Amino acid sequence: MNKTEGFDYKEFEKEALLKLKQGVSLEGENGILAPLLKRLLEAGLQGELDGHLSSPEQSKNRRNGLSSKKVKTHYGSIEVTTPRDRNGSFEPELLPKRQTTLGEGLDHKIISLYALGMSYTDICDHLSEMYQLNVSPSSITAITDKIIPEIEEWQTRSLESIYPIVWMDAIHYKVREDNAIKSKAVYCLIGINRDGIKDLLGMYIGQAESARFWLSVLNDIQRRGVQDILIASIDNLKGFSQAIEAVFPKTKVQLCIVHQIRNSLKYVSYKDRKYVVISLQEIYQANNKEQAEKALARLDEQWSKKYPYIIKSWLENWDKLSQMFEFPDVIRKMMYTTNIIESFNSQLRKVTKTKRVFTNDQALLKLLYLVQIKVFENLKPILGWKQIMAQFIIIFEQRWNIN
């Protein structure tokens, strides 16, 4: 995030880091968090006025400049600029005209309740019960809509030129559209950059997951600056690997072994499952491709008559399932499964589990965006990255140093 509505995040981060090194408190009038709260309160007040002016009875009303007042908060006193309207009918609920104290903890709630997955109605009920604030769902909508410019900026931000590994997967939600409830796929890409730090490259909402939509996603990240992906870890969606190769032809595509095993076990009876699992383990836990192919041959010999579909699937996908055997263990452990992105999806589900249907795509994206901010803030390089990076540099020497 950079500048949004007059707030420069990079400058804020630099100043916050400097103050922390100098021993400055997070709280207090000169603390680190006061400027952030000021921006969020002012954005919320602007959202409330937008909601007020959008009503039919206010069709002739207009904005009429700004006023300011000092407000006491849990983080210290802050100067808050509040918007006005011409006919004076605007009565802000978030920070009423004569209120100069923001209750302790209320600032935390305003910032975090929506990000925790609460519905607009639940937030209104909570604020009313805890703080005697009567905020309408339309006002909450207007307030949360203020993050839309940030989302748009995040969606179009420049990416790095090369990512050693990118995991790709989709998560599905119910969204109301055209007076019907439809299943939508949220396409997610998590990459590790050359410093070993994970980053969510993008989230894209489309219809049911398809290779065609993945192609448009890959073209988008290419337009945003990605020149090369060394390894891509994906599930076995039909046409997915071809879509990757069409945009990034040099990328090594690894199908997720865990997905492959799950799909295989769907067709195995309970009494045989334990023994089939042992046979499959011998394949993906082999030391090299030659040993793995011998284990695959034993699987074929032992189970092909009873479970022909399993053998057919492994043989047809073997080229993409066995890419990991070209790499040393430290890289193989990272690429053989899409667990990293599935872990991220599980964190999304924790927040969204109470929402059976989203009102529209924008409501879904707003919430997922807020969740990902928490997930990806203050990340450090993955454990053992220097050793892993050394292996990447040796294997991909000519492609590693793309600017």
The single-letter code of the amino acid at 270 is Y
CA distance 247 to 104: 52
The residue whose two tokens read 């249907």 is 357
Report residue 311: phi and psi, to 5°: -65, -40
Q: What DSSP string describes 154-197? A: HHT----SEEEEEEEEEEEEEEEETTEEEEEEEEEEEEE-TTS-
Which one-letter DSSP state was computed for residue 56? Answer: G
Band of residue 321 on the pLDDT scale cut at 50, 70, 90:
very high
More confident residue, 136 or 25: 136
Model pTM above 0.75: no
Note the pLDDT tens digit of each residue in 355-401. Answer: 888 888 988 998 899 889 888 988 899 999 999 999 999 999 989 98
**Burial, 99: exposed, middle or buried (Cβ in 10 Å; 0-12, 13-18, 19+)?**
middle
Percentage above 90 pLDDT, the chain: 53
